[in-house]
Structure 1
């Protein structure tokens, strides 16, 4: 049965209301950064909060989850580096009684090589690692883990609590919804699949808890969808900037949908002649995925050579820009006319060489 979706949502609050009312236990959302994914997760959470008791119904993981943890780096003595956590948050209910450390550790071991100790009364976490010192292995205490390792630890912390909620532990009986927005930022492909597999195994358990996952990571999006055995509807969330309204597109079983989204977004930008530096990143991403799908080693294999550029000077210049540029989505520097012309030509040649479904493109 097709899912009924309004043609447009006037604001992000209407999207959150729709997701709350949608009678689906698992929901996947693909959206580019800057669309409002994190804000959507927070509004969804706020809508379920009991104002009198201050307790909500949503266990969430997003950029704000990391703010529940903060470092005391012992700047005076540089000896005890402690990760503190906000003990007032319901996120940490009943941790000591549930022996949370012994539950986190097996999950963490799949991602990292450090260990930790939790002081529940003081709300403090210290880290240690086994290292080779001379000819012996020694335990090094009070280490400062990297930012990436810290994110992995917090993610494993969250997974453990989500499992407790799914298992029906009384301390987390308030959890009726789990909302996950972009688990572990900046995932490489291997970790994207590993996280998707672990999360899919967790969510495939029998539970009445509703789960929503939103991400901008195309590989993770498709991996988690396949792992959930196609039991979750897939949506594409976009913001119509001119009208400040939102659209939620049911993308059903369209394969490799992140290719389609990239193609559609670039087409809109080209049609409007509003091309910025970050569009080079989007075009490179689209070319990389197309090249991999068709068995080429490099994204440049999907770029036609210019007939009026026999020495390939312009071609090599464009390849260099696309290879080394790492432009932020929020870098709103408009491209020069020449660079606009390069993007438009590469995009047109790509569409001529590898046919995309125009109906889906035009519906987005």
Structure 2
């Protein structure tokens, strides 16, 4: 896309959609504050027709679908609230999402969770070992507050579980034709960045149902791993303000 200027983000989003007719994947590298999140929103909005949608997206707005209740009064029962009004959570109570997410999360983290689909809450726990030798025992600590990096991993694995349903052609997500992923690895170390990029690339390459994807990132290592894994199956662009 070097040397091509667009008057606004909707025009760029429309161009990306047309480019996806030629190759299934598009990789965008862009610095922070370039407009990647706004571009993902513009891309999604082009697929709106009334109540119909065609894009599953992951961006800062996705993370906002999860919000903490920190129990400031008692400092005991901490949990994540889910925004039940979002279509992102379609099929949550029917598709064994706990098991799907847990299989993915176990790749990256050592905490566990439960999803209450009647209260739209996620609670976290962790096993810890106390004592030594014959006196050692395992205790489960419930309602813990996980770190920001762990929270990002959980939300990312939640998204990946949904993405896998999309790629498998599950009925609840038949509306998805495009996937737009913007910067999924904030607050993560480089080891996790590489692991996440490899896993995402493998999922997309292995899919056979024609889902098309755009992935944008400011993280050089993450972007390079994706480029190396997806190779000639993807358009690769550098995005900057004033030109694209």
State the TM-score, normalized to the length of structure 2: 0.93
Instruction: String of CA shifts for 1:60-115, please: whole Å, max 9, x gaps.
Output: 11111110000111112111101010111111001121100001101101110000
Measure the CA separation in 2 of the matches of 1:178 and 1:188. Answer: 24
Measure the CA separation in 2 of the matches of 1:239 and 1:7. Answer: 12
Measure the CA separation in 2 of the matches of 1:182 and 1:221. Answer: 10
Q: Quick check: 1:230 aligned with 2:229?
A: no
Q: Quick check: 1:204 aligned with 2:205?
A: yes
Instruction: String of CA shifts for 1:295-346, please: whole Å, max 9, x gaps.
Output: xxxxxxxxxxxxxxxxxxxxxxxxxxxxxxxxxxxxxxxxxxxxxxxxxxxx
Aligned pairs for 1:182-331 within 5 A:
182-205=183-206, 206-240=208-242, 246-247=243-244
Q: Quick check: 1:130 aligned with 2:127?
A: yes
Measure the CA separation in 1 of the matches of 2:60 and 2:224. Answer: 22
Q: Quick check: 1:14 aligned with 2:11?
A: yes
Q: Provide structure 2 residue ranges, at least 5 long, that are not aligned to the other structure.
A: none
Aligned partner of residue 238 in structure 2, secondary structure: strand
Aligned partner of residue 98 in structure 1, secondary structure: coil
Instruction: String of CA shifts for 1:252-285, please: whole Å, max 9, x gaps.
Output: xxxxxxxxxxxxxxxxxxxxxxxxxxxxxxxxxx
Aligned partner of residue 178 in structure 1, secondary structure: strand
Q: Counting strand residues as a fraction of each chain, which structure ranks higher?
A: 2
Measure the CA separation in 1 of the matches of 2:78 and 2:49. Answer: 36
Aligned residues: 237
Q: Provide structure 1 residue ranges, at least 5 long, that are not aligned to the other structure.
A: 241-245, 248-364
Aligned partner of residue 240 in structure 2, secondary structure: strand
Q: 2:106 pairs with 109, 128, 135, which one?
A: 109
**2:148, 2:187 within 8 Å by CA — same for their partners in 1?**
no
State the TM-score, normalized to the length of structure 1: 0.63
Aligned partner of residue 233 in structure 1, secondary structure: strand
- After superposing on structure 2, the runs of 4+ consecutive aligned residues of structure 1 that deviate more than 2 Å are 4-7, 186-189
Measure the CA separation in 1 of the matches of 2:2 and 2:11. Answer: 11
User: Shift in Å at residue 188 of structure 1?
Assistant: 2.7
Superposition RMSD in Å: 1.4
User: 2:60 — aligned with what?
Assistant: 63
Aligned pairs for 1:63-82 within 5 A:
63-82=60-79
Greater RCO between the two (CA within 8 Å, min separation 6)? 2
User: Shift in Å at residue 50 of structure 1?
Assistant: 2.2
Q: 2:95 pairs with 98, 101, 107, which one?
A: 98
